[in-house]
Amino acid sequence: MSKTLYTANAHVTGGRAAGHGETSDGSLVVDLRLPQDMGGEGGGTNPEELFAVGYAACFESALGVVARRRKLEAGDVVIDSNVMLLPTEERGFKLAVELDITLPSVDDPVAAAELVRDADAVCPYSNATRGNVDVSLTANGRPL
């Protein structure tokens, strides 16, 4: 087993429909609610929104790591993240993800695609979802 670099701790009660969650350090406190799109009242966040924010933030950090290793500047990255909740044939649920990555400081489409592919290999969310979740990536508007 590898050396643990960091452990996040959270406590959740009530689940996605009428729950409450917070991290042990108190820096994240959220009310969980079923979205209106799913017949709920809204008024809070949900696991898919939290995953969308977490994945995008993690991927941006991975891009920074890859860029620094190449001695490039990619500090003005913007990531639009969509996380979709889909039904399965077994009456369960699965996720799909779209990450639309914009790298304004990287004009060359080949270089942008290479940075995004390499970040995908580094990102812990990408590594956790690979083979389990359909993830589509774009770099400066071009699908990878």
Q: How far apart (Å, rounded) are the C-alpha atoms in residues 7 and 78?
A: 26
User: What six digits make up the tokens of 9?
Assistant: 């701790």
Identity at 28, one-letter amino acid code: L
pTM (2 decimals)?
Answer: 0.94
Residues 75-108 have pLDDT tens digits of 799 999 999 999 999 999 999 999 999 999 999 9
CATH numbers and ranges of domains, the chain: 1-45 (2.20.25.10), 47-143 (3.30.300.20)
Asked if 101 contacts 79 with a C-beta cutoff of 8 angstroms, the reply is: yes
Does the pLDDT at position 74 exceed 90? Answer: no
Q: How far apart (Å, rounded) are the C-alpha atoms in residues 118 and 138?
A: 13
Mean pLDDT value across the chain? 96
